Structure 1
Amino acid sequence: MKKISGMLLFCLLLAGNIAVAQDDPVIQNIVEEAEENSSLEQLAHQLLDSIGPRLVGTPQMNNAHNWAVKKFESWGIPAEKEKWGEWRGWERGITHIDMITPRVQTLEGRQLAWSPSTGKKPVTAEVITLPETVSDSMAFQRWLPNVKGKFVLISMKEPTGRPDYNWEEFATAASFAKMKQERQEQTEAWRNKFRSMGYNSRTLPAALEKAGAVGVVTSNWSDGFGVNKIFAAYTKKVPTLDLALEDYTMLYRLAENGSKPKIRVTAESKELGTVPTFNTIATIKGTELPEEYVILSAHFDSWDGATGATDNGTGTIVMMEAARILKKHYPNPKRTIIVGLWGSEEQGLNGSRAFVEDHPEIVKNVQAVFNQDNGTGRVVNISGNGFLHAYDYLGDWLSKVPDTVASHVETNFPGRPGRGGSDYASFLAAGAPAFNLSALNWSYWNYTWHTNRDTYDKIVFDDVRNNVILTAVLAYMASEDDEKTSREQIKLPNNPRTGEPQTWPEARSPNRKGGMD
């Protein structure tokens, strides 16, 4: 068992791969098509600007599936919406939030996913904070009647809206250290208050709603300028809103200083009952080994604070563009090439887990799965994911990738099996050779992952084109390989905490009926 560094692999392969790419007309055509006739910008515009966010259970998610099917079929690739479950149907409408006392200002914010509606008539009420200190849960229960008829701020008032990198650049060392210490102390005090109250951020909204609050207001700051994480509401009858840090902390200061701020909120949304959920599956049928499969994998759904550009619009358009190019320049693959655009990855890999569970005949004959998810950046890392002989085949396929693309990629063979985080893990747990094409992050975790800023303008199309070439060449090589890929797994070491042997990840069933409770 050996670990091969990306640099060593690159040095071993660089001498030959330029010539190989030049000698192989399919690879030449893939590169030329990707660079000179790209449809990435058009795909991104149609998916992100026109269709928008793709929250599971929404009409926009269904619109995206319909669009993808038509797009694949326009390229001569048969495609279908494959139902795998049901979800709570919900549609986001207009959110408008205005402070009307002590002065008038329109605020930046939105209702959270699956938030109850205010209806078309705005709700106007005073904004209050949680009590500054809480001795115990009984004291908090005695305080709870104060929320009746009020909007309640339930997130900590951040001491600064400047990310740490900005402090490091401009603050004195003493000032930066002081800020961090104060923030740490404030955060710990906030956590202790919640422990004393007997609630957490998920259970508190329901308690406030039951006590008569007209709405819950949060600010889930993502440690960047103007950026918040946008997730789900936990109220059943009153709206839950997220406000930008700048506006949230302003309201907080006004409330704690006795100014009694009031806001007027319109949060329109529709409950749509139970709706079907789908994966989009497109297939380029193999000619020699049609019952063996290369799968191009990306999750299609997103959260809906923005348009889901880098999570996972970019992964989606990489797989779609790779399929378009392969169909045009490699129309008769040896093995069948499947593109899987999965639903409800964000709620637990549900779409891909359902596909794995529903299609054991495909999974047992998978040659390789290539998955792309995490952001707009060029792919910079591929792990062998614990397959003992991954270097023998994946290393060979990578050797045919043009050096302008391959030179960015670090590899780790045989690596360790990934245990979650994206849809490759669904296939990996079933024993199929599945590989995540991990990308350079471009400040992904703070600025675009599940945020209100994950929009088209954050896409770096040169990097995405890089990933299209990589994916298409790997798919071509995997399809053409004379050998079936080995599934032999490494022997995992003992868990250092327990001393017990680690085990391969176990396959898990999807949630096929979500959001109903």
Structure 2
Amino acid sequence: MRKNTILKSLGLAGMLVCTASAVAQDKDAVVSAIVQEANTNSYLKNYAFELVDMIGPRLVGSPQMQQAHDWVVKTYTELGAVARNEVYGEWRSWDRGTSQATMTFPRVKSLEGTQLAFSPATKSKGVEAEVVAMPVFNSATDFQAWLKTVKGKIVLIGMNPISGRSDANWKESASDQGYDKHQRLKNEQQKKWDLSMSYTGYTRRTLPLALEDAGALAVMDSYWTELPGLTRIFDAKSKRIPVFNIALEDYGTLYRMAERGVKPRVLLEGNSKELGTAKTYNSIAEIKGKEKPNEYVVLSAHLDSWDGGTGATDNATGVITMMEAVRILQKVYPNNKRTILVGNWGSEEQGLNGSSAFVEDHPEIAKNIQVVWNQDNGTGRIVRIAGSGFEKSYEYIGRWLQYLPEEFRKEIQTTFPGMPGTGGSDHSSFVQRGIPAFGLSSTSWDYGKLTWHTNRDTYDKIVFDDVRQNAIIVAILTYLACEEPELVSRDRIVLPIDKNGKQMEWPTNLKSTRISGN
């Protein structure tokens, strides 16, 4: 090679190195600005107050859910996004109102509890009757015989645990022998109860249908989480009789009385209202890309919740994480190359319906999605990211993660390429259509027992330092996904052979339900 050619080559190489260095410095500057804005000017508590305390629980189809949709659109519009509520179906509209459970015999006591979502209301003066406890059955014949005895009664259908203390409490304070004995008795009780339930042919959620046909006046359950005072609140399947969930501490009292022949009586008052049907929405916000407006980075979090608490960690924390990330990016990254699209989905709790409907209804967007970031497992900081079965996900996510502050990055465990999800949360709706979508999984904060679908999923359980860290992570990853020169690979792994020796196939089980009950 001639000398001048060598010099030109060295000069070009130097220019490329300088250019790459400048790009890296530019990215570092934006990342630093994101961190600075999040730490000095957080809006998270403002967003949480409005969504969790002021609007409260967001049951699909309820007036509160409509308020939440409208608030999301208003807030994103104020942030400079183009926002809309997009109809994808209709749902049974039900308003909780007030509910009260009172033991009237053998003494008067207010009971801690509430109607389940979609439960039929009681008559104006409530329903009062003797309470009976469902026994353990030894056969289907036993169950059918017992059904003939429930007419005119309020029926307890849940198992009454042998202890209202948590396993952790037993482990800490019992002797080794006492703990082992408790575990053995607990497991034996659960095994007998599960066998008994199998003889009924129903689950705890469908059993009230058989009881109302048999003439029962109401049903009471206690879906205990194994922590004091906590119960899970789902929905009632009954058509005519009310279903109440009662805290274990009061439920156990009634159960023991009924078992001993005391014949306790309870007055149930449920003032819920059936409001016909209501349109169901996804709340969508878009900040158009300045260079590639028809390519998208999607921020995903479901807006709906169950309504035993106020839906704070499932999933208001996800909603406000994405909102704060957008607020930050609008300030420090005004010239986003790709369109940033936020999806606050409806009816996730009934089967990922809103997100599935969005993908079905928008093939023009789906084909040009860069990545989807989804957050939906509590208030904890992000510590796990899996590749969702996309073969080359490590190449880009691994590279982007290097820009996170070191104290964040060192906590995050990655699994690549991972496996595609069959459900769980809204990123699965995208993954199943071959779109790179990733759940941003968090530290527990005892999410499974303390707040997931419980009566204690409330504002006071939010850990704002962790949520702020999540907003920083989402903002940085979104910025980098917008800046990526090309759309990332959608190549999928070849799935392994299952335990039966069959070749596993990419899941396609998710389809949106657009009408309640269908």
**Same fold by TM-score greater than 0.5:** yes
What is the one-letter code of the residue matched to 1:511?
T
What is the one-letter code of the residue matched to 2:506?
W
What is the one-letter code of the residue matched to 1:505?
P
* Secondary structure of 2:98 counterpart: strand
Question: How far off is 1:125 after superposition?
Answer: 1.2
CA distance, structure 1, for counterparts of residue 137 and residue 475 of structure 2: 58
**Aligned ranges 1:389-400 → 2 under 5 Å:** 389-400=392-403
* Secondary structure of 1:345 counterpart: coil
Q: Tell me whether 422-431 or 387-396 shows the greater mean CA deviation.
A: 387-396
Contact 1:21 1:400 in 2 (8 A): no
CA distance, structure 1, for counterparts of residue 34 and residue 124 of structure 2: 52
| Alignment counterpart, residue 216 of structure 2, candidates 213, 216, 223 | 213
Q: Deviations for 1:306-347, whole angstroms, at most 9, x for unmatched residues? A: 011111110110011111111122122100000000011111
| Alignment counterpart, residue 361 of structure 1, candidates 359, 364, 379 | 364
Query: Aligned pair in 2 of structure 1 residues 411, 143: CA closer, same or farther (>3 Å)?
Result: closer
Q: Deviations for 1:95-127, whole angstroms, at most 9, x for unmatched residues? A: 111111111111100100100001432221111
Q: Sequence identity, in percent?
A: 53
Question: How far off is 1:133 after superposition?
Answer: 4.6
| Alignment counterpart, residue 488 of structure 1, candidates 487, 491, 495 | 491
Q: Deviations for 1:425-454, whole angstroms, at most 9, x for unmatched residues? A: 111111111111100111000111111111
Question: How far off is 1:389 after superposition?
Answer: 1.4
Q: Deviations for 1:135-194, whole angstroms, at most 9, x for unmatched residues? A: 543443333232222110001111011110110000011111111221222222222323
Match of 2:473 in 1: 470
CA distance, structure 2, for counterparts of residue 213 and residue 346 of structure 1: 29
CA distance, structure 2, for counterparts of residue 246 and residue 350 of structure 1: 35
Match of 1:322 in 2: 325
Residue 82, structure 1, aligned to residue 86, structure 2: yes
What is the one-letter code of the residue matched to 1:393?
Y
- RCO higher in 1 or 2 (8 Å CA, sep ≥ 6)? 1
CA distance, structure 2, for counterparts of residue 243 and residue 40 of structure 1: 33
Match of 1:122 in 2: 126
* Secondary structure of 1:427 counterpart: helix
CA distance, structure 1, for counterparts of residue 198 and residue 416 of structure 2: 45
CA distance, structure 2, for counterparts of residue 421 and residue 508 of structure 1: 11
**Aligned ranges 1:97-496 → 2 under 5 Å:** 97-130=101-134, 132-495=135-498
CA distance, structure 2, for counterparts of residue 352 and residue 217 of structure 1: 33
Contact 2:156 2:255 in 1 (8 A): yes
Query: Aligned pair in 2 of structure 1 residues 287, 151: CA closer, same or farther (>3 Å)?
Result: same
Question: How far off is 1:391 after superposition?
Answer: 1.6
Unaligned 5+ runs, structure 2: 1-19
Q: Deviations for 1:239-296, whole angstroms, at most 9, x for unmatched residues? A: 1000001110110001111111111111110111111100000000001111110000
Match of 1:501 in 2: 503
Contact 2:206 2:238 in 1 (8 A): no
CA distance, structure 1, for counterparts of residue 26 and residue 175 of structure 2: 55
* Secondary structure of 1:491 counterpart: coil
CA distance, structure 2, for counterparts of residue 153 and residue 101 of structure 1: 16
Number of residues of Structure 1 aligned to a counterpart in Structure 2: 498
TM-score by length of 2: 0.93
Contact 1:430 1:507 in 2 (8 A): no
* Secondary structure of 2:59 counterpart: coil
What is the one-letter code of the residue matched to 2:341?
I
Contact 2:230 2:247 in 1 (8 A): yes
TM-score by length of 1: 0.93
Question: How far off is 1:416 after superposition?
Answer: 2.0
| Alignment counterpart, residue 63 of structure 1, candidates 63, 67, 84 | 67
* Secondary structure of 1:438 counterpart: strand
Residue 53, structure 1, aligned to residue 43, structure 2: no
CA distance, structure 1, for counterparts of residue 358 and residue 278 of structure 2: 18
Contact 1:20 1:400 in 2 (8 A): no
CA distance, structure 2, for counterparts of residue 184 and residue 446 of structure 1: 18
Contact 2:423 2:510 in 1 (8 A): no
Query: Aligned pair in 2 of structure 1 residues 66, 442: CA closer, same or farther (>3 Å)?
Result: same
